Amino acid sequence: MALVLALETSCDESAAAVVTSRAGRWQVLSSRIASQVEEHARWGGVVPEIASRRHVEALPALVETVLDESGVSVGELDAVAATVAPGLAGALMVASVTGRSLAALHGRPFIGVHHLEGHLASVQLADRSPEPPYLVLLVSGGHTELIRVDRSGDMLRLGRSHDDAAGEAFDKVARLLGLGYPGGPAIQQVAESGDPQRFSLPKGRVSRPGGGFHPYDFSFSGLKTAMLRTVEKLRAEQSELPLADLAASFEQVVADVLVQRALRCALDHGLDQLVMVGGVAANRRLRSQMTAQAEARKVGVTIAPLAFCTDNAAMIGAAALARLARTVTDSSLEIGVAPRWPLDRASELYKTPPPF
């Protein structure tokens, strides 16, 4: 059995969790999130300086609460984990410094976790978690990627967005429609009563220099522009926008593109298991269409539990436990934070000397 306290402050959610592993299964003893969404909504997006300040205010109480709720003291922990990359530098610092200080004070190891490795590990918190090899569709506010995870745990990126991430497209289109921030949940709600076939929108294929298309890559900037043109045209013709139909048509085309390219990638690579994680994986239409179409093609699908799709600390704890299970892991206490760091170099976070 291993026990970790995990902290996450890479963007606009302050989060803490205590996660344990028993006989190869992860169990969340307590997980708390303090969202700053309402504060950032006033500005239409995340304001980094406000985010850092709110993390400093919120994190100590969250740590106390999750330790209380799980009945665990810091001295009993096998490690303290915190997200150290990628994300907003000032925001990352809060969990990183808090985690390192707790670890140093109590003589526990510190594990600096890669945020995307956390999203990938969120699927281990599902009732039935898959065994590699499988293909992961990671869809968040900052990333849209298809990643093959091998039996050894090695990861290889097979597809990516060439411009906006899917979540970013949701956020930008929501702003265009005047639906507020964050865009994903706002669009999902308005789209419920809409007609997803009313507007025909582009699927954003990415050309290859030698001709043809990248079969597993994405582009959402053309879709965003098409939404803008449609809205401008409608505004010129009528006073009130058909918001529900616009939101539903947008959500439908994003779901179509993600489902079709992910399944094609899985089948082409002989992978019969697909995993979906990240904030956009919370989307109801995407969840149901991915499940239905994967089933129809005999591909098994596991989607991260709804509570662990958007940013949370339990997934950071799950990633730390997976590292602990594989090797003796202890990041340097000197490890800083990095706003950018590729997922395929996540292992370097555990090297001596540290990479940053």
| Helix 48-70 and helix 89-106, axial crossing angle in degrees, nearest 10 | 30
Q: What share of the chain is helix, strand, coil (3-state, %, to 5)?
A: 45, 20, 35
Q: Which residue has the tokens 């930008």?
A: 172
109 binds, among ligand KG4, Zn ion, none (CB under 5 to 8 A by kind): none
Contact status: 185 vs ligand KG4 (CB under 6 A):
yes
159 binds, among ligand KG4, Zn ion, none (CB under 5 to 8 A by kind): none
Q: Which is nearer to Zn ion, 63 or 116 (CB)?
A: 116
Tell me, what amino acid is at 228? L
Q: Which is nearer to ligand KG4, 70 or 122 (CB)?
A: 122
117 binds, among Zn ion, ligand KG4, none (CB under 5 to 8 A by kind): none
- Asked if residue 76 lies in contact with residue 3, where contact means CB atoms within 8 angstroms, the answer is yes
Nearest approach in angstroms of CB 223 to Zn ion is 22
Contact status: 280 vs ligand KG4 (CB under 6 A):
yes
Contact status: 121 vs ligand KG4 (CB under 6 A):
no
- Choose the stretch contacting ligand KG4; rule: CB under 6 A; options: 31-39, 56-64, 149-157, 164-172: 164-172
Q: What's the CA gap between 129 and 74, in Å, rounded?
A: 28
Contact status: 196 vs ligand KG4 (CB under 6 A):
no
Specify the DSSP class assigned to residue 307: G
Residues 130-159 that bind ligand KG4 (CB under 6 A): 140-142
183 binds, among Zn ion, ligand KG4, none (CB under 5 to 8 A by kind): ligand KG4
**Near ligand KG4 by CB under 6 A: residue from 112, 184, 305, 317:** 184
- Choose the stretch contacting ligand KG4; rule: CB under 6 A; options: 71-79, 90-98, 180-188, 331-339: 180-188
Q: In DSSP terms, which residues pair with 350 in a beta bridge? A: none
Please choose, from the candidates 194, 164, 201, the residue with its C-alpha nearest in 3D space to the C-alpha of residue 179: 194
DSSP per-residue letters across 142-158: S-EEEEEE-TTS-EEEE
Q: What's the CA gap between 161 and 217, in Å, rounded?
A: 6
**Near ligand KG4 by CB under 6 A: residue from 171, 199, 217, 303:** 171
